[in-house]
Amino acid sequence: MSRVVVLGSGIAGHTAASFVRRWLPRADTVTVVSPVDRYNWVPSNIWVGVGLMQPH
Ligand SMILES: Cc1cc2nc3c(=O)[nH]c(=O)nc-3n(C[C@H](O)[C@H](O)[C@H](O)COP(=O)(O)OP(=O)(O)OC[C@H]3O[C@@H](n4cnc5c(N)ncnc54)[C@H](O)[C@@H]3O)c2cc1C
């Protein structure tokens, strides 16, 4: 059994974890480590900044 740890839950980390989860057998684990407790879709930050989207 393998244990995969992905550091960072940005676009790259999210994509890597999604693909690895699909490729590995169910018995293997995939853990994403993030320094924050929320997911931030970076390209949308600009819309929050100009008041066209709420942070949540
Ligand atoms: C305003 C704005 C608009 C954009 N618009 C577009 C667009 O329209 N189209 C496009 O293709 N690209 C766009 N981009 C660029 C795109 O958002 C970035 O290229 C992309 O977010 C990079 O992804 P990443 O996973 O490499 O980094 P990030 O998304 O920055 O993810 C890195 C992650 O690592 C985490 N992290 C940091 N330190 C640690 C640590 N020590 N341990 C664990 N985790 C850690 C961070 O919290 C973060 O979640 C935009 C960027 C900005 C700022």
Q: For residue range 1-26, what is the model confidence (pLDDT) as tens digits?
A: 899 999 999 999 999 999 999 999 99
Q: Label residue 38 by pLDDT band (50, 70, 90).
A: confident
Domain locations in the chain as residue ranges = 3-34+41-49
Q: Would you call 20 helix, strand, or coil by DSSP?
A: helix
Atom of ligand 1 nearest to the CA of 45: 1
pLDDT value of position 23: 97
List the helix and strand counts (H, then E) for the chain.
2, 2
The separation between the first and the last C-alpha atoms of the chain, rounded to the nearest angstrom, is 37
If you average pLDDT over every residue of the chain, what do you get? 94
Question: Which residue minimizes the CA distance to atom 3 of ligand 1?
Answer: 43
| 39, pLDDT greater than 90 | no
Cα of 11 from ligand 1 centre, angstroms: 6
| 54, pLDDT greater than 90 | yes
